[in-house]
Amino acid sequence: DTEVTQTPKHLVMGMTNKKSLKCEQHMGHRAMYWYKQKAKKPPELMFVYSYEKLSINESVPSRFSPECPNSSLLNLHLHALQPEDSALYLCASRDHWTQYTDTQYFGPGTRLTVL
């Protein structure tokens, strides 16, 4: 089973709202990722968590705040977003045992619209 789930599927929020995106996996993977994908563009890495610790932050603005409460769950807290933050937000997970064989598996994404 290589399932990564994300909720909600769609989210519309105003610039003053606070919302959260949720990602869950039950494959025992120890690395989890957030990507942002604008329309007709490739995904861009935002954050990497390894063993529940933030390992990589690709200079993402502080209005995006990641959280990894446990090894199965990854959240992305959103606050004071701008319309240009509207995008598809993808979560991925990976075994992290060895990079010779393991692969990132992606969730279906959350389509975010900021008004």
Partner 1 sequence: AQKVTQAQTEISVVEKEDVTLDCVYETRDTTYYLFWYKQPPSGELVFLIRRNSFDEQNEISGRYSWNFQKSTSSFNFTITASQVVDSAVYFCALSEGGGFQKLVFGTGTRLLVSP
Residues that bind partner 1 (CB under 8 A): 2, 31, 41-43, 45, 48, 50, 55-56, 88, 90, 92, 94, 96, 99-100, 102-109, 111
Q: How far is the CB of 58 from partner 1 (least distance, A)?
A: 9
Vertex 88 angle, CA 47 and 101, to 5°: 50
CB nearer partner 1, residue 55 or residue 113: 55
CB nearer partner 1, residue 78 or residue 90: 90
CB nearer partner 1, residue 45 or residue 80: 45
